[in-house]
Structure 1
Amino acid sequence: MKLKFVFSYDGSAFLGSAKQPHKKSVQDNFENALSHLGIYNSFLMASRTDKGVHANNAVGCVECGDYFKDLHYLKNQLNKYTHPFIHIKQIQKMEQDFEVRFDAKAREYRYIFNHDKFNPFLSRYAYFYPSFDINQANELLALFNGEHNFKLFQKEGSSTKSTIRKMYFAKAYAYKKLSIFTFRANGFLRAQIRLSVASVLAVLENRLSKEQLKEQIEAKKEHCRILAPPNGLYLHRILY
């Protein structure tokens, strides 16, 4: 049978989500936990994240025998092996034709800024950054909305066939001493959000103009290649 997992993870504990030779990834950790319960098939994930990037509601899938009837028991047993850096929230039996990656309709990420005094105990989970005008940030983020060729917002070395993506919304809001950027699209290029965040910050800091940001979004000219730090980024949810 095919099982779908919804889980969260602390990205600071891993060198990325995808399986790697050194076995320090989220996928490696998850497959190790599954192996303790006799499940040896590959664990497929709906989205990949880079080193240091977190997830609130990541989604993965694995094939296993029909003998796992009690999914609540399975979840509790697996969490014994995935804790403390991965927590399984839900396990659901799916139809055999379910495709964890290709059936996804949208993906949503959040980027968190902390405007308070620097705290080393929180620094892995937010980007400590001076406060900024949230209204101006929203004006700039709105430029990303709609369908664009985001080829100038991807990391070098990417092998994506198409760089056209549809951004359903990109917006910012403030909560206490935090500012949060939210991005939802039908898909994202490698490091697209970190490059987008960095380019918005460059305009807010007057290192880049709004017109230059537009040029890059329209794939006319590249102006910013800096990546925002990974620790503020969260894969928030995947919609099916």
Structure 2
Amino acid sequence: MKEKLYDLNKRYFIRLSYKGTNYHGWQIQPNAITVQEVLNKALSTILNCEINVVGCGRTDTGVHASDFYAHFDVDEQVTFDCDKLSFRLNRFLPHDIAIKQTFQVREEAHTRFDATARTYHYFITKNKNPFRLESHWKVPYELDVQKMNEAAKILFEFEDFTSFSKLHTDVKTNNCKIYQAEWKDNGDELVFTVKADRFLRNMVRAIVGTLVEVGRGKMNLEDFRQVIESKNRSNAGSSVPGHGLFLAEIDYPESIRN
């Protein structure tokens, strides 16, 4: 495989989905298989040059993505048809990673920094279901969904979500703007949808864990508000398991396209 020794000046976005069960998250790490590593190898093999994709974010071990974007650069001398590349990637990649689309964007477009909003879903199953083992968290107790939705509305009052952030991260601010936060009861499952301009590490799983405390009656609405105001992670609920979490949608401005 040849190495690139020249300037990279064409950028492409790849839109994909993946089941996170068999991966230690998105981002490359030593001694563990990740989605980023698998995609890098596939692209490098097909395009016959070293490719390193940059993701729109990072997902933890076992977390899924029904919608995810990554970008990569190639020299202008490397040419390919985007639809054919997507087709070849899908033949090359394992069954739990699927390419939806490949398209060229502006040279400076960035999957992470140009995203204007992200949407996550968290799935809870009320009943034992073998077909949901890897996609839902089984909760063994009754939950008051109305109270959980009342608590979710409190999130709109705040921008600093330090209480729901993983400790010792390298971000400059813990401020986020939440656009949507609601629970839906679908009979034998609950689905939490949350949309924001950005998310902190572990933020969604910590929010869900704390809202479940409200649903169990272990925390009231004022307690929930005080958790956020405290800016102290230890006051919030435990993080829920990763396998119930899906990155569901990412918004970009039309201006990213070439």
TM-score norm. by structure 2 comes to 0.87
Match of 1:202 among 192, 213, 216: 213
Structure 2 counterpart SS, 1:136: helix
Match of residue 196 from structure 2: 185
Q: What residue ranges of structure 2 are gaps of 5+ in the alignment?
A: 1-9, 253-258
Counterpart residue identity of residue 27, structure 1: Q
Counterpart residue identity of residue 68, structure 2: A
Q: Aligned partners of 1:235 and 1:220: how far apart in 2?
A: 25
C-alpha contact (below 8 Å) 2:19/2:96 kept by paired residues: yes
Structure richer in strand, relative to its length:
1
C-alpha contact (below 8 Å) 1:9/1:55 kept by paired residues: yes
Moved more, 121-130 or 4-13: 121-130
- Residue 170 (str. 1) matches residue 181 (str. 2): yes
Q: Aligned partners of 1:105 and 1:220: how far apart in 2?
A: 25
Cα distance, 1:146 vs. partner? 4.6
Q: What residue ranges of structure 1 are gaps of 5+ in the alignment?
A: none
Total equivalences in the alignment: 239
- Residue 21 (str. 1) matches residue 33 (str. 2): no
Q: How does 1:1-240 map to 2 (within 5 A)?
A: 1-37=10-46, 38-66=48-76, 67-119=78-130, 121-129=131-139, 130-219=141-230, 222-240=234-252
Moved more, 229-238 or 142-151: 142-151
Cα distance, 1:100 vs. partner? 1.4
Q: Aligned partners of 1:101 and 1:51: how far apart in 2?
A: 19
Structure 1 counterpart SS, 2:235: coil
TM-score norm. by structure 1 comes to 0.93
Structure 2 counterpart SS, 1:227: coil
Change (3 A) 1:23 1:76: farther
C-alpha contact (below 8 Å) 1:146/1:166 kept by paired residues: no
- Percent pairwise identity: 27
C-alpha contact (below 8 Å) 2:23/2:35 kept by paired residues: yes
C-alpha contact (below 8 Å) 1:16/1:25 kept by paired residues: yes
Counterpart residue identity of residue 62, structure 1: F
Moved over 4 A (4+): none
